[in-house]
A and B are shown apart, each in its own frame.
Chain A
Amino acid sequence: MQVLSGDARRAVFAPLHDGALRSEAVVRRVGSAIALGLLGDGEQLPSENDLATMLNVSTVTLRDALAELRALGLVETRRGRGGGSFVRLRDAALAGLADARLAELGTADLRELGDVHGAVVAAAAGLAASRASVREVARLRDVVDRLAKEATSPGQRRADGRFYVELAACAQSVRLTMQEMDLHLELGQLPWPPAAEPRLLEVVVASHRAVVDAVEARDAVRARELAAGHVDTRTAWSVALHLRRLRGARPDAGAREPAG
């Protein structure tokens, strides 16, 4: 089988650097790639050996991860001729994975992820304001319009990711574009906030539109500020969702500090 090329695929199959719990890291990476549509329903995964090499994990770790993905219904393995591991799109399983990840991360982890995303987005937005062509600005607008019309959470999340990746490309920077792609594979492991609160989509769309306006006006300072400010808002949403889940999971938790 042929593995697709392109920046997105490179990110999906890039080596994992997490130290401990590597089979869980593989499960999360594959889960978010499915959530972002980078791995399609029915698509065949590379062979166990190839996949282990690409992700830089042992075959034992990889088999553990595939077993977990099978248990979640996200991968189906067929034996024999024409066999292999195939991706299965299961929205409920993906939502469950995202909820579990949100619960296990601490607020400091969520803030760290938001901090680095904010830094990359601010740099991209500022450079895009001085480097994006008229044509590229029109393309950014088109991506935001599509996001506004997306009815489903997976569709919204992908359109949102495309906006950020295109913004980084408008900065004329391969490195920022790759960073943005890598970050989306991490952010894709967490719940999409408008899935819990549909009104938030309007906030996302309005913020992206304001960034595009600033880019079009060649106002780099404003583009940076708006883009970074919105990422901070998202971090606050994730933290709020995280805390809500903790309280929901333990009805008596309101009286005590959540365990670390």
Chain B
Amino acid sequence: MTASAAAALAADVAAVVEAVFAEVDRLQAAAVPVLHDPSGAAAARLEEAAQALLSPGQLAVGLGLIVAPRAEDGFRLRLLWWQVDPVTGRLGALAPDLRPSSLGFYDYPSTEWFDVPRRTGRRHVVGPYVDVHGTGRYLLTLTEPVLAGGQFLGVVGADVPVGRFEGHLLRRLGPTAPPFVLVDEEGRVVLSTSPVRLVGALVQHGGDLPGPGVPVAGVPWRLHAVDDGGDLLPG
């Protein structure tokens, strides 16, 4: 693959990611009022906004606001998240177990998608990962901090199932795209069109992959051209 072909693929990946972040952005305006409105009217408006964004054909299957525990609120864990049920296809609120005494406790303040925007004040994409005790799905989660007056109030974000991201991107790139792997900053394979690199695996930068790859704008990913593994199925 030429450098310009790799750069073109990376631009396509960046465009897909930006489209999801654009949806997340649209939740920002509805998110802040929720934190100062005990009546529930602001939460209802956020729900409306989230549900409108979860229309069929969208990449995201879940969207919402995850609230930072605050002293004045007794460090309450609170999550206003809506998702398309993978079995029924119906839209509904996600209600994970938020009691620390449970084996199934969804300890979201310690998750990467919450903690990184809190620490850095910047948007983040995490995955592929198993969203254990939350949706239970294999996901990419895209989050950005909700800030007011410099204070971190929580994150807004979107869940994109790994399989859906892969299918969408491969359709967009078409059948003639040369084989490549998309790798995150830890070396995790986010997407691969080579049978010798599997999604979710860790690769060593420099060691496992030839060359430095090309960066994907806006996310800490790199795209590497690879061998197509064609000799796996000789004949």
Decide yes or no: A6 and B99 within 8 Å by CB, A131-B201, A133-B186 being known contacts: no
**B112 interface residue per 8 A CB criterion:** yes
Q: Roughly how many angstroms separate A2 CA and B92 CA in the complex, as a whole number?
A: 11
CA of A4 to CA of B81 in the docked complex: distance in angstroms?
A: 13
Nearest B residue to A184 by beta-carbon distance? B103
Contact B103 A38 (CB under 8 A): yes
Confirm or deny: A96 has a beta carbon within 8 angstroms of a beta carbon on chain B. Answer: no
Q: Mark B117-138, 1 if CB is under 8 A from A, else 0.
A: 0000000000011101111111
CA distance A36 to B128 in the complex (A): 28
Whether the Cβ atoms of A169 and B132 lie closer than 8 Å is: yes
Is A133 within 8 A of B134, CB to CB? Answer: no
**A158 near B101 (CB under 8 angstroms)?**
yes
User: Is A134 located at the chain interface by the 8 A CB criterion?
Assistant: yes
Q: Is residue B221 contacting chain A, with contact meaning CB distance below 8 A?
A: no
Task: Kindly specify which of A23-31, A171-179, A206-214 makes contact with the partner chain.
Answer: A171-179
Contact across chains for A172 and B186 when beta carbons are under 8 A apart: no
Question: Which of A7-15, A59-67, A244-252 lines the interface with chain B?
Answer: A7-15
* A40: B residues at CB distance < 8 A: 99, 101-102
Task: Pick the residue among B97, B112, B138, B201 that contacts A6 (CB under 8 A).
Answer: B97
Task: Known A133-B186, A139-B110; judge A158-B202 contact (CB<8 A).
Answer: no
Q: Which of A10, A36, A131 lies in contact with B102, CB distance below 8 A?
A: A36
- Kindly list chain B residues whose C-beta atoms are within 8 Å of the C-beta of A38: 97, 102-104
B188 cross-chain contacts in A, Cβ below 8 A: 131, 133
Does B106 interact with chain A (Cβ within 8 Å)? yes
B108 to chain A, nearest CB (A): 11
Query: Which residues of A are found within 8 Å of B137, using beta-carbon distances?
Result: 174
Bound Cα distance A168, B102 (Å): 18
Q: Is the interface of B mostly helix, strand, loop or mixed?
A: loop
Q: Does B33 contact A (CB under 8 A)?
A: no
Chain A residues near B138 (CB-CB < 8 A): 172, 174
Cβ of A37 within 8 Å of any chain B Cβ, yes or no, is yes
Interface size on B, residues (CB 8 A): 29
Interface-centre pick from B99, B101, B112 (highest chain A CB count, 10 A): B101
Check B103 against A6 for contact (C-beta < 8 Å): no
Q: How far apart are B53's CB and chain A's nearest CB, in angstroms?
A: 20
* CB-CB under 8 A for A177 and B136, given A4-B95, A135-B112, A165-B103: yes
- Are the CB atoms of B104 and A131 closer together than 8 Å? no
- Interface positions, chain A 132-147, Cβ under 8 Å from B, are 133-135, 139, 142
User: Across the interface, which residues of A come within 8 angstroms of B179, CB to CB?
Assistant: none
A169 to B101, CA, bound (A): 20
- How many A residues, CB 8 Å from partner? 34
User: With A and B bound together, what is the CA distance between A10 and B87 in angstroms?
Assistant: 12
Q: If A2-B95, A5-B135 touch, does A177 touch B101 (CB 8 Å cutoff)? A: no
Q: Which A residue's beta carbon lies closest to that of B85?
A: A5
Which residues B171-203 have CB closer than 8 A to chain A? 186, 188, 200-202
Inter-chain CA distance A4–B128, complex, in Å, is 24
B104 & A8 in contact (Cβ 8 Å cutoff): yes
Contacts of A166 in B (CB 8 A): 132
Write out the residue numbers on chain B whose beta carbons fall within 8 Å of the beta carbon of A9: 97, 104
Task: Specify which of A3, A139, A174 is in contact with B136 (CB 8 Å cutoff).
Answer: A174
Q: How far is the CB of B30 from chain A (nearest CB, A)?
A: 22
CA distance A120 to B59 in the complex (A): 32
Interface centre among A142, A161, A177 (most CB of B within 10 A): A177
Q: A2-B95, A139-B110 are in contact. Are A172 and B128 (CB under 8 A)?
A: yes
Q: Which residues of B contact A3 (CB under 8 A)?
A: 95
A sample of 7 more A-B contacts (CB under 8 A), given A6-B135, A7-B136, A174-B136, is A9-B97, A37-B99, A130-B201, A135-B112, A169-B129, A169-B132, A172-B129
List chain B positions with a Cβ less than 8 A from chain A.
93-97, 99, 101-106, 110, 112, 128-130, 132-138, 186, 188, 200-202
10 contacts between A and B (CB under 8 A): A6-B96, A6-B136, A8-B97, A36-B102, A38-B103, A131-B188, A142-B110, A158-B101, A162-B103, A177-B132
Closest 3 CB pairs of A and B: A8-B104, A172-B200, A7-B136
